Structure 1
Amino acid sequence: MINRATDTFSAALFIHLSTNLNAMAPQSIITILLNRRMLVALVMGFSCGLPLLLTASVLQAWMKEAGVDLTTIGLSALLGLPYTLKFVWAPLFDRYRLPILGRRRGWLLVTQLSLMAALIWLGASNPSLNLMILALAALAVAFFSASQDIVVDAYRREDLPDHELGLGSSLYINGYRVGMLLASGGGLILADHIPFSMVYLIMALCLLPGVLTTLLTPEPTVESFPATLKSAVVDPLKEYFSRHQAFWMLAFILMYKIGDTMAAAMTTPFYLDIGFSKTQIGTVVKLFGFWATVGGTIAGGIAMIRLGIIRSLWIFGVLQALSTAGFALLASLGPSVTALSAVIAFENLSGGMGTSAFAAYMASITNKRFTATQYALLTSLMGIPRVLAAAPTGYLATQMGWWSFFILCTLIAIPGLLLLLRIKATH
């Protein structure tokens, strides 16, 4: 389950690439792929993807190993709030310029160095001694990680010419996934052999290529930038809420992946609790699941061309719900690697397909005059269930047991599907 903002670009990128690559000569594509801007997009994607799961699945595994109760582990989902609320302070990066390296690179360097320091601080914390210090350190990691995302997105949009934006964004997403894979799969495997404090130190050092890239890459040339915050925040909101059934569309965005999200919040403690080792989790869930998600996203993009967005949302939404029920089946079967592989393959394939259609829908309802701002707001809104709905999942799992908990997550997906009946007429 890769449920971070980068997945929301996948469908639009696939359609863009499938439409435009045929019109480009192979030599032209190779030339673009090898230029400086593509390398920067790839490295920056890696730097943005790396920190995400260090405050999620890896931290959950550390807390579980330290004897922290499931209710507290579930509440750790609140650490993801900075990713959800990043649109609040995003205009500051547009409005103000630091005295070093330029408007984009200056903020990039500050957020990257601060992120490295926060990761080292988190690794030096101890979940069994002082959970408050651990939580503060993890919150700092999430805040500086979300801030880095904001500035990298802005830099990439300004650095890439229009004809390179599709390929550059694709490389960014690939780098992002590699960063997530290294942090989650690699981090959990390392944690079987070295202390978590060392794992976090190693992950902090893995951000050095991003810092070096910031120092070496040029500042993009921009003719003008916002003089006030109104044009960046108020006008896009006014335009969106003037639409018919705007609130029904927001309700759908909140509810469509809520069951999938609630289940994801407890999967790592679930795997450990029923008897899987951290190496098995890192290998099957993270490494194998990584490729299943990539395949699902691409398959979803292809299918959506024929099915259309709304029909795809229906079909992929049903598959998402069924895949969540697969965890209930795994709870009954116990620590079978074969069963785990099958469940993960189905869950990640369907999750990738659902995310593909979901991303395309959100992109389709943005106004072209405010695409960047409205899309950022919608993706931030999409993250609210990941944080708030996931918070009580530890308590629910403790009280209900794993089988009943995952059945509940399956049933919670139904309201999101029913909202499709409302929004269909608006699309």
Structure 2
Amino acid sequence: MTSNSEVTDAGKRNWRAALEVYGQPRVVGMAFLGFSSGLPFLLVFSTLSAWLAQEGVSKTTIGFFSWIGVMYSIKFFWAPVVDRFPLPVLGRLLGRRRAWMLLAQCGLMGGLIAMALTDPTADLATLAWFGLLVAFSSATQDVAIDAWRIEAVAESVQGAMAASYQAGYRIALLTAGAGAFYIASGTSWPFTYFVMAGLVGVGMVTVLLVAEPDASKTAGSQPQEDWVVEHLRRHDFSPAWLHGAYGWVLGAVVCPLVDFFSRYGKQALIILLFVSVFRVTDITLGVMANPFYLDMEYTLAEIASVTKVFGIIMTLGGAALGGVLVVRYGILRPLLASAILAALTNLVFAWLATQNDPGTLSLALTVSADNLSGGMAGSAFIAYLSSLTNTAYTATQYALFSSLMTLPGKFIGGFSGWVVDNFGYVWFFSYTAIAGIPAVLLIVWLLYHDRRQRSAHEQEERTS
């Protein structure tokens, strides 16, 4: 949380000085790293779905391909390794953070080139394995970039770093979404993936130009909790390396979990359940979005212009609205409103699916409703996840939440093609709307619990 002194200092800062922070080399570099982080995401998700759909791959198979994105949902498991283990050669040359980033980017470039060289109609399984390599490398890069961002600048500059990252990330989404569609419409999908592989070089050059944070150069183990030190003192291990490894696991993985459950008690399970189901409705819909647009006979250029370029503009507008609502009404009420809207706007897709001759205007209206609610939900949800973390374990706990929030959606989304093939788009979009009900019910419970806590606290203050 921001202290009163920090607010006062921020208030004294004039506009010119505040804007000058965006000229700092590491803040500028963060935008290019954000581009590198955002580029691969759509290439193994909705853009890949469009390629497979045009190659005649069944909707069921396309749905199963969405499971490649599970890599983003389980990155928490290897995040401690990326966080603390220095690579043998690259680590000495570049430092721990930049070494991991460059290694991940090599995996990205190699995986995208391999995907471009693979024919989906002849060897679909091989394409899936190369897609898995891209997703794993991308998730690993995200862990390293997050660590670099936190360590590279002072806390007062973190807001500028986050804004710079988001700008680069959104440009990357446009590139891998609308850009890829425009290129594919004039050439071919394999050529498009060759171009995207070349754009990974933007991140590679950035890694070579930015400086390694001083914090990540520090050798030695990270500070451990008192109970970990005491636990290790009372338990002797042989050989000695096992003692160190056990302590490392306790400090890197167990401590953040123990801290979270100790702060929230039984409520922690409800919170984790809510985090896991909040994005089920939009992730499940996203798997079949591009195949749906193509089946409705929209051209690649129309899809790129409306759903990618115009859609991202609407998402940014929704995100700005969500941020204002959070400031005005707190986190939980805007979160409830966005959860309801996220489910209801899926029914707009069901309406579009019933149209015999839908025009571009109908598509724009559908995308507007979906992306405005999605942007609003994103702002409220990120604010909520951030409020759950302890500053002593911000990176690890946020990695856990960000992994958990996509895992159920990715799993359920794998069956989306089967639902479409067997029941059609209208029932599919209705089913995705129903999938949003658990999140709405859970946040109603969280609101009720929050009000009870506030009432109990106010009653305690009056009686004291």
**Counterpart position of 1:235:** 255
**Counterpart position of 1:6:** none
Question: Against the structure 1 CA distance between its residues 405 and 225, is the aligned structure 2 distance closer, same or farther, given a 3 Å change threshold?
Answer: farther
**Counterpart position of 1:353:** 376
Alignment map for 1:20-59 (pairs within 5 Å) = 22-59=11-48
**Counterpart position of 1:215:** 208
Structure 2 distance, partners of 1:116, 1:61, is 21
Deviation of residue 115 (structure 1)? 1.0
**Counterpart position of 1:372:** 395
Alignment-mate amino acid for residue 340 of structure 1: L
2:424 to 376, 389, 401: 401
Deviation of residue 22 (structure 1)? 4.9
Deviation of residue 190 (structure 1)? 0.9
Residues 1:66 and 2:55 aligned together: yes
Structure 1 distance, partners of 2:76, 2:8, is 31
**Counterpart position of 1:390:** 413
- What's the CA shift string for 1:77-126, capped at 9, x where partnerless? 10001101111111112222123311111111111122111111111111
**Counterpart position of 1:3:** none
**Counterpart position of 2:295:** 273
Structure 1 distance, partners of 2:71, 2:208, is 26
1:335 to 333, 358, 361: 358
**Counterpart position of 1:187:** 180
Structure 2 distance, partners of 1:71, 1:19, is 56
Question: Against the structure 1 CA distance between its residues 343 and 18, is the aligned structure 2 distance closer, same or farther, given a 3 Å change threshold?
Answer: farther
Report if the CA contact (8 A) 1:77-1:386 is conserved. no
Deviation of residue 425 (structure 1)? 4.5
- What's the CA shift string for 1:227-253, capped at 9, x where partnerless? 523212111112223323211111111
- What's the CA shift string for 1:230-283, capped at 9, x where partnerless? 212111112223323211111111222212221121111000011111111111
Structure 2 distance, partners of 1:88, 1:420, is 27
Alignment-mate amino acid for residue 61 of structure 2: T
Deviation of residue 419 (structure 1)? 1.0
Residues 1:94 and 2:83 aligned together: yes
- Higher RCO, 1 or 2 (CA under 8 Å, sep at least 6)? 1
Structure 2 distance, partners of 1:406, 1:312, is 24
Residues 1:258 and 2:247 aligned together: no
Deviation of residue 66 (structure 1)? 0.8
Deviation of residue 19 (structure 1)? 9.8
Report the count of equivalent residues: 413
Bigger mean CA offset, 399-408 vs 234-243: 234-243
Report if the CA contact (8 A) 2:280-2:406 is conserved. no
Alignment-mate amino acid for residue 79 of structure 1: I
- What's the CA shift string for 1:49-70, capped at 9, x where partnerless? 0010001111111111111000
**Counterpart position of 1:7:** none
Structure 1 distance, partners of 2:121, 2:139, is 27
Deviation of residue 180 (structure 1)? 1.0
**Counterpart position of 1:299:** 321
2:442 to 404, 419, 423: 419
Question: Against the structure 1 CA distance between its residues 20 and 273, is the aligned structure 2 distance closer, same or farther, given a 3 Å change threshold?
Answer: farther
Residues 1:80 and 2:95 aligned together: no
Alignment-mate amino acid for residue 330 of structure 1: L
Alignment-mate amino acid for residue 383 of structure 2: A
Alignment-mate amino acid for residue 413 of structure 1: G
Report if the CA contact (8 A) 1:94-1:226 is conserved. no
SS in 2 for 1:138: helix
Deviation of residue 404 (structure 1)? 1.3
Question: Against the structure 1 CA distance between its residues 363 and 286, is the aligned structure 2 distance closer, same or farther, given a 3 Å change threshold?
Answer: same
**Counterpart position of 2:310:** 288
Alignment map for 1:157-176 (pairs within 5 Å) = 157-176=150-169
Question: Against the structure 1 CA distance between its residues 329 and 19, is the aligned structure 2 distance closer, same or farther, given a 3 Å change threshold?
Answer: farther
State TM-score, norm by structure 2: 0.86
2:386 to 347, 363, 367: 363
Alignment-mate amino acid for residue 154 of structure 2: P
Structure 1 distance, partners of 2:444, 2:55, is 46
Alignment-mate amino acid for residue 261 of structure 1: I
Deviation of residue 29 (structure 1)? 2.2
State TM-score, norm by structure 1: 0.93
Report if the CA contact (8 A) 1:77-1:387 is conserved. yes
Report if the CA contact (8 A) 1:245-1:426 is conserved. no
**Counterpart position of 1:154:** 147
Structure 1 distance, partners of 2:85, 2:135, is 22
SS in 2 for 1:192: helix
Structure 1 distance, partners of 2:395, 2:427, is 40
- What's the CA shift string for 1:369-409, capped at 9, x where partnerless? 22221111011000112310100000011111111111111
Deviation of residue 306 (structure 1)? 1.4
Question: Against the structure 1 CA distance between its residues 159 and 51, is the aligned structure 2 distance closer, same or farther, given a 3 Å change threshold?
Answer: same
Bigger mean CA offset, 341-350 vs 244-253: 244-253
Residues 1:197 and 2:195 aligned together: no
Alignment-mate amino acid for residue 322 of structure 2: G
Structure with the greater alpha carbon radius of gyration: 2
Structure 2 distance, partners of 1:20, 1:89, is 39
Structure 1 distance, partners of 2:340, 2:19, is 39
**Counterpart position of 1:9:** none
Residues 1:143 and 2:136 aligned together: yes
SS in 1 for 2:432: helix
Question: Against the structure 1 CA distance between its residues 423 and 277, is the aligned structure 2 distance closer, same or farther, given a 3 Å change threshold?
Answer: same
Alignment-mate amino acid for residue 28 of structure 1: A
